[in-house]
Structure 1
Amino acid sequence: MDIKGNTILITGGGSGIGRALAEAFHAHGNQVIIAGRRQSVLDETTAANPGMASALLDIEDPAAIMRFAEQVKREHPALNVVIHNAGIMRPEDTKSGATDTAESTITTNLLGPIRLNAALIDHLLAQPKATVITVSSGLAFMPLSLTPTYCATKAAIHSYTNSLRYQLKDTSVTVLEIVPPYVQTELMGEHQKNDPHAMPLDEFIAEVMTLIESQPDAHEILVERVKPLRFAEASGKFDGFFKQFNDEMVRQRT
């Protein structure tokens, strides 16, 4: 993927990793459109980045996704990059028997990108060169027991991305996967944003942009801090690492 000269749609682009990616690509001269549920957050981001565009999107609503896709194609016919970043991450107590959090997480994190990709794929295939980027997580490969459905959706996104890449291998559309580690954002609240154990957001984005530019044939964008999670199973150390990792996360929260 060229990091310049694109028209890029980023879901969840008003905060966290989405906003940071939007600002980084905007600074490289791309036309960037951010999408999200809260108009105030979108307005704040575009005001701070003159020339950036925005559009409301309820990623949980299939009909809204279809309307949004038609709007974006109409208003930005040069659209050639989509970054599926929108997501939620909430703790769950599997002993409670409740499924509300699981269902909303699956709808947002998994069905949302699949539905939006389906609504935009014909447009992307018609471009001379296009890119689909998914945002999974190191937790796709090393689950955090506190957020079981979040981890499951990110594992599913990784699997979906591999299949999508294979199906599109003879087309003009390339497929990338960004795999973040634990990053200082508000994904799970204010504590995460200021957690010294998390990777600073600006450092994460700088490394991601460098990797995208310097590794044009890469399928996965892996910053150094996520590699222990990504390759734990391949190294044969998954079981021990899983217990150590989850025990440490429980200790930190308590």
Structure 2
Amino acid sequence: MNISGNTIFIPGSTSGIGLALAQRLQAEGNTVVIGGRRTELLEKLAAEHGFDTVRIDTADAGSIRTAAAEVLRQHPDLNVVIAMAGIMRVEDWHHADGFLASAEEVVTTNVLGPIRLIAAFVEHLRTRPDATIVTVSSGLAFAPLAVTPSYNASKAAIHMLSESVRLQLADTPVRVVELVPPSVRTALLPGQEESEFAMPLDEFADEVISLLASEPDAKEIQVERVKFLRYGEVRGDYDQVVATLNAADPHGK
């Protein structure tokens, strides 16, 4: 992915990692369109930062179709989509009422959302030079946090989806890049913004932009902090990684 000169749509970018990356990508010389559910917040961010905006609920198939049509109408040169939106829930799987509704919401947002986003944009992206789909998985796709089973599974699904779609689109101009965050200080879970275990948001976003600039052909964007989780099985210390993760961070990402 080229670091500048793109037109980028980032649904799920009104806060946290999405907003931090939107600001930095705009500063690198990209046109950035941010998406979210709250119209008043979108208007505020547009006034403060000069973003173009579109309302989108990535848990709603109809909203994705409507938003995609609006983005493409306003920005026919769009060449990058970053599927940022996601939710994380603490769940208790001892009883169905402790997890079922939550699990369904997580899968709808974290798995069906990116699938529907790709469906809405892939035909357009195939016509664009330097086109890129950026998916967002997690270190928890590779080592599980006990209290968030559905989130872990949804991000593992995104990892394999990214691997598979990259193979299929190898005969097109569209690149598939997977962003693999560690735990980052955001509001994804209550208390995570103050977590000493989590990586500071600005530090994470700065390292991501640096990696995008220095590794334009990378298939995965991995900050140094996530490699402990990402490569446990490869190193042969997976059980230790899982034990350390769950002892250190009961609410991590």
TM-score tier, shorter chain, comes to: over 0.9
Distance, in Å, in 2 between the alignment partners of 1:129 and 1:241 is: 37
Aligned residue number for residue 228 of structure 1: 228
Three-state SS of the structure 1 residue aligned to 2:94 is: helix
What is the CA distance between 1:43 and its match in structure 2?
2.1
What is the CA distance between 1:96 and its match in structure 2?
2.2
Aligned residue number for residue 126 of structure 2: 125
What is the CA distance between 1:244 and its match in structure 2?
2.7
For the 8 Å contact 1:8–1:33, the answer to whether it is kept is yes
Structure 1 stretches lacking a partner, 5+ long:
none
Distance, in Å, in 2 between the alignment partners of 1:218 and 1:93 is: 37
TM-score under structure 1 length normalisation: 0.95
Distance, in Å, in 1 between the alignment partners of 2:192 and 2:132 is: 30
Structure 2 stretches lacking a partner, 5+ long:
none
Distance, in Å, in 1 between the alignment partners of 2:249 and 2:82 is: 29
Aligned residue number for residue 195 of structure 1: 195
1:114-153 residue pairs with structure 2 within 5 A?
Answer: 114-153=115-154
What is the CA distance between 1:206 and its match in structure 2?
0.7
1:3-18 residue pairs with structure 2 within 5 A?
Answer: 3-18=3-18
For the 8 Å contact 2:90–2:147, the answer to whether it is kept is yes
1:151-166 residue pairs with structure 2 within 5 A?
Answer: 151-166=152-167
What is the CA distance between 1:221 and its match in structure 2?
0.5
What is the CA distance between 1:44 and its match in structure 2?
2.5
1:98-109 residue pairs with structure 2 within 5 A?
Answer: 98=97, 99-109=100-110
Distance, in Å, in 1 between the alignment partners of 2:52 and 2:120 is: 20
Deviations 1:184-210 (A, max 9, x none): 111112x21122221111110111011
Aligned residue number for residue 214 of structure 2: 214
What's the Cα RMSD here?
Answer: 1.3
Distance, in Å, in 2 between the alignment partners of 1:119 and 1:167 is: 17
Distance, in Å, in 2 between the alignment partners of 1:26 and 1:128 is: 19
1:86 pairs with 2:85: yes
1:44 pairs with 2:44: yes
Deviations 1:24-55 (A, max 9, x none): 101111110001111122222222212x1111
Distance, in Å, in 2 between the alignment partners of 1:211 and 1:247 is: 30
Q: Percent identity?
A: 50
Aligned residue number for residue 58 of structure 1: 57
Output the amino acid matched with 1:188: L
The structure, 1 or 2, with the larger RCO (C-alpha pairs under 8 Å, 6+ apart) is: 2
What is the CA distance between 1:236 and its match in structure 2?
1.1
For the 8 Å contact 1:137–1:180, the answer to whether it is kept is yes
TM-score under structure 2 length normalisation: 0.96
Which ranges of 4 or more aligned residues in structure 1 deviate by more than 4 Å?
none
Aligned residue number for residue 182 of structure 2: 181
Distance, in Å, in 2 between the alignment partners of 1:195 and 1:249 is: 8
Distance, in Å, in 2 between the alignment partners of 1:31 and 1:106 is: 30
Report how many aligned residue pairs link the two structures.
250
After TM superposition, the structure 1 stretch with the greater mean CA deviation from structure 2, 142-151 or 39-48, is 39-48
Aligned residue number for residue 237 of structure 2: 237
Deviations 1:105-137 (A, max 9, x none): 000000001011111100000112200001110
After TM superposition, the structure 1 stretch with the greater mean CA deviation from structure 2, 241-250 or 59-68, is 241-250
Distance, in Å, in 2 between the alignment partners of 1:84 and 1:177 is: 10
